[in-house]
Amino acid sequence: MTTTLERPNMTVTQLNTAIESFVDFYKQGVNAWIKAGEVLVEMVDSDPHAYDYIIQKCPNINPMILERFEQMGRKILHPQLLLNNSAGYSKLQKLPFSLQERYLDEPIPLVVHTENGTDVLLVKAREMTKDQANQAFSTGRIRTEGEQKAYLIQQQSNAAKNVTPSVQTPWKIKGSKVEINGVIFTRKELAGILAQMD
């Protein structure tokens, strides 16, 4: 006889309360990261060895983590961008802080090819594929629709240059025989032809 652990089901009210609680803690965590970053900025600005002191006190923290907190404290990096490793958020991290905040949830116009030419889709940064993110973002900014069209044309041109033409051979192997331009040869016949060559 096997037994299974049963979990009591939450009522809709309990579930909604739990969700609200989770979201509150999540927001508190993000705000705490920003505050920790602001405190770190104060320390670094007053003493250039602040990283060393923090690492001595808490060896689990490394300089890369401290750098991220300093970026958050200096309003260079939005903390929510660290909680998602999507291609779009990775590119969004390189934009000014005001644009990071704006495009955390606001969709970005993305030019796409259609049967009738091009169209514009609105895609959130966190949902972009790597190719879409490369198309939408340039160094430190978001490409305009015209720039995206030029980018797509350039990508197509580069892809066309890299395509190797398919070469059709004049012969096909069919089991133990070879067909050359419609004529079928056995191994023995091919060997006889090759023996006649110098």
Q: Between vectors from CA 163 to CA 157 and to CA 169, what angle results, nearest 5°? A: 150
User: What is the per-residue pLDDT across 31-76, written as a single tens digit (0 to 9) for each?
Assistant: 899 999 999 999 999 999 999 999 999 999 999 999 999 999 999 9
- Does any domain span residue 167? no
Residue with tokens 């032809």: 193
User: What is the per-residue pLDDT across 172-188, written as a single tens digit (0 to 9) for each?
Assistant: 888 888 888 778 888 88
- Does any domain span residue 145? yes
pLDDT > 60? residue 2: no
Query: Final residue of a domain: which of 59, 77, 95?
Result: 77
Q: Which of 68, 69, 60 is nearest to 35 (CA)?
A: 69
User: What is the per-residue pLDDT across 119-144, written as a single tens digit (0 to 9) for each?
Assistant: 999 999 999 999 999 999 998 899 99
The more confidently predicted of residues 3 and 93 is 93
- Does any domain span residue 60? yes
Owning domain of residue 29: 18-77
Number of domains in the chain: 2
Query: Final residue of a domain: which of 56, 77, 98?
Result: 77
C-alpha separations of 7 from 4, 10, 19 in Å: 9, 9, 18
pLDDT > 60? residue 93: yes
Q: How much is the average pLDDT of 154-158? A: 86
Q: Which of 86, 128, 89 is nearest to 109 (CA)?
A: 128
- Does any domain span residue 197? no
Residues 101 and 71 in one domain: no
- Does any domain span residue 9? no
Mean of all residue pLDDT scores within the chain: 88
In angstroms, rounded to a whole number, what is the distance separating the alpha carbons of residues 186 and 192?
10
In angstroms, rounded to a whole number, what is the distance separating the alpha carbons of residues 177 and 184?
7
C-alpha separations of 190 from 110, 142, 155, 186, 196 in Å: 58, 63, 46, 6, 10
